[in-house]
Amino acid sequence: MWEAVTQYLTEQGVRATFDWLAKAAPGSRLAFTYVRKSFLDGKTFYGWESGYRRFVASKIWLFGMEPEDCQSFLKGYGWRIIEDVGYHELADKYIVPTGRRLASTPVERMVYAERV
């Protein structure tokens, strides 16, 4: 489980971590989160301008990617995506049925992957 970490690292730091994770045994599983690159680039705020000012403009969050790029990124390290979901998908599938609310933002995505 690697939650709420990637956005604080540089791309070089994320890639170094995946270099290490590439040594995991086939069948290993990994769950991690990432932030959308379009948010970090200031192209789309997803209704969270205050988060942009707090985390991006102040250079706290550094790394992000887009869902359409995630599979090829992981493939380069020997991983395949089982599931890549955003806030609303995750909440609808897993949280709403429990009657709870999910504390997350629309800029975060969650990936469940397997080492191939």
Instruction: Give pTM, 2 decimals.
Output: 0.91
Q: Domain containing 49: what range?
A: 6-115
pLDDT tens column, 3-37: 999 999 999 999 999 999 999 999 999 999 999 99
12-43 residues labelled b (16+ CB within 10 A) or e (exposed): eebeebbeebeeeeeeeebebbbbbbebbeee
Convert the pLDDT of each residue in 91-115 to its tens digit.
888 889 999 987 778 899 999 999 9
Question: Nearest 10 degrees: CA dihedral of 71, 8, 14, 67?
Answer: 10
Tell whether 1 is covered by a domain: no
Cα angle, residue 23 at apex, residues 22 and 24 outer, rounded to 5°: 90
Q: Is residue 91 in some structural domain?
A: yes
| CATH code of residue 10 | 3.40.50.150
In a domain, 98, yes or no: yes
pLDDT digit string (tens) for 43-92? 999 999 999 999 999 999 999 999 999 999 999 999 999 999 998 898 88
Look at the chain and report how many structural domains it folds into. Answer: 1
In a domain, 20, yes or no: yes
- 62 part of a folded domain: yes
